Amino acid sequence: MSEAREGILGRLLATADASGPASPGQAAADGRTATHGGKANDDSNLDEFLKALEAVHGEVHRVGTDWPEVIAEMLAAARVDQLWYGANSPHGAQLQARWPSPSAGSELAGAVPRLKPFDKSIERCREALFADRSAGFTSAQAAIAETGTLILWPGPAEPRTLSLVPEVHCVLLEQSRIVPTLEDWMADYCQQADRPPLPTNLLLITGPSKSADIEQTLTFGVHGPKRLIVFLKNGN
């Protein structure tokens, strides 16, 4: 890790020490964090996150262990043809195991989208990846209640392409990973002794891609997905 990055992380830790309790036990005492603040604070974080995300045109759906079927049903209704995912990602096997068969399309509002593992170079799948009516699936490392922002941790098993290219981005988020602010997440992360280095391409996503450069008219999907759908999972 570079000296500059170490310096930034050191200042964040110093700020946390100066502004309030830093240990899990101390944080629970004043209810500052989602991970240590108890159910009341979890609910507060969730409410704030939902309001902030919906304000920037993000969509949220609560799911259980049936989340693959729920994703398939929503994408079928939206006439999405295919869903790209990381076959070796943390949730890839579960997504594949519970994905409905094509024959289930008769029970849904549309045809079941095809699952497409992202296991080739971008050069070999560029045309199919940029095709219309395509969606990408990723998980979220955490979420920020204050701004409705998702934190994604791209890697070889779940590359950032999945969240940037398809016109629909589906994200699986564990409710327990919602924290009040980015500062809280950074401070909590820096206190973990066995933490891996932060990736250089850490993604902060707040709503679908949008731009108002042309005549101040807000347009979605200009530089990335036009729909951001968060599937919020609570518990196992």
Q: Is the pLDDT of residue 27 over 70?
A: no
- CB neighbour list of residue 216: distance below 8 Å, 6 or more residues apart: none
pLDDT band, residue 171 (cuts 50/70/90): very high
Tell me which residue of 20, 43, 48, 7 sits closest to 188, measured CA to CA. 20
CA distance 103 to 133: 20
Give rounded-to-5 percent helix, strand, coil for the chain.
40, 20, 40
Please provide the DSSP assignment of 92-123 as one string.
HHHHHHHPPPGGGGGGSSSPPPEEEE--S-HH
| DSSP letters spanning 33-84 | -TTTSHHHHHHHHHHHHHHHHHHTT-EEEEE-TTHHHHHHHHHHHTT--EEE
Q: Say how far apart CA 105 and CA 75 lie, in whole Å.
A: 11
Mean pLDDT of the chain: 83
Tokens for 74, please give them.
């929503």
pLDDT tens column, 185-211: 999 988 888 888 888 889 999 999 888
State yes or no: pLDDT of 33 exceeds 50.
no
User: Band of the pLDDT at 1, cuts 50, 70, 90?
Assistant: low
Half-sphere exposure of 232 (CA within 13 A, CB side): 17
Q: Is the dihedral of CA 107, 74, 92, 95 positive or negative?
A: negative
Please tell me the predicted confidence (pLDDT) of residue 14: 65
- pLDDT reported for residue 35: 46
Cβ contacts of 46 within 8 Å, gap of 6 or more? 145, 175, 178
Provide DSSP, 155-186. BTTB-THHHHSSSEEEEEEEGGGEES-HHHHH
Beta-bridge partner residues of 29: none
Residue among 67, 156, 147, 81 nearest 119 (CA): 156
Give tens-digit pLDDT for 131-145. Answer: 778 999 999 999 999
Positive or negative torsion for Cα 86, 88, 94, 96: positive
Could you give the CA distance from residue 180 to residue 146 in angstroms, rounded to a whole number? 6
